[in-house]
Amino acid sequence: MTTSYNPIELMICVASRELEEGSTVAVGTGAPCATAMLAQKLNSPNLSIIFEAGSICPQLPEMPVSVGDSRAGYKAVMVSTMGAVMETCARGFVDYTFLGGAQIDMYGNLNSTYIGGTHEKPKVRFPGSGGANDFGSFCWKMMVLTVQDKRRFVEKCSFITTPGWLRGGNSRYEAGLPEGTGPYKVFTNMAIMDFDSETRRMRVISINPGYTMSDVQDNCGFELLRASKITETEPPTEEELRILREKVDTHRYVIGRS
């Protein structure tokens, strides 16, 4: 029997498998928080979740609605400050981060600031960085959760809020960011991508059920590289969906958007 699920549930379940036991992950609210919670409740009970507002290693009882929600500090080892959290990332203590944005380019640069016009007079203004620049700059592996279409996957971001591989090659490290950090994987409703180790361009490694490589490429504004062997993504299991729906996002704050 095939279990039904929506695109957001698919992305969360698949991405949560990346968070191994004993690792650390910096997240904001929404889908990144749901992903970390699912991993903590299902496969990685000793996963250390860190929120930009200052909560470190909470045991989340339910989905917080913001990084400053009191639930984000439930049974936390420490509730500190944003400065302390960013220092923790800068000192190399955080393995992963999950981010999103209005635009992403072939090198994993993210834009969550504005589109069109100028910075002073944009056509569309977005919330901006929050902690995304720091997380993307200093956490070891940056992962992205986003729905895929040509408006989001663009050849060049209107503004770089969070640095990815910048212009490709070694440009990220030449700009002064710590060696060994950088974009790791991108999870969309259609596919999973990583980044070529030399050019640093986005590369398809797995296609989600119900989609083809043509679907993935047609919904991207730049040419995607292809891994030598592209697999089919394992769909969410019944247990993953049960935990996600009954113990993580019980009020459907995130998974109800589809």
Just list the catalytic residues: 52
Please, are residues 152 and 158 in contact by the beta-carbon 8 Å criterion? no
Tokens 């996957």, residue located = 153
| Count of CB atoms situated within 10 Å of the CB of 66 | 14
CA distance 123 to 239: 44
- Stated as kind and residue range, the H or E segment containing 116 is strand 114-117
Q: Give every CB contact of residue 79 below 8 A, 6+ residues apart in sequence.
A: 54, 55, 56, 73
What percent of the chain is helix, strand and coil (3-state, nearest 5)?
25, 25, 50
**HEC letters along 170-199:** CHHHHCCCCCCCCEEEEECCCEEEEECCCC
Neighbour tally for 229: CB within 10 Å: 7
Provide the 10 A C-beta neighbour count for residue 91: 9
C-beta separation of 142 from 194 below 8 A: no
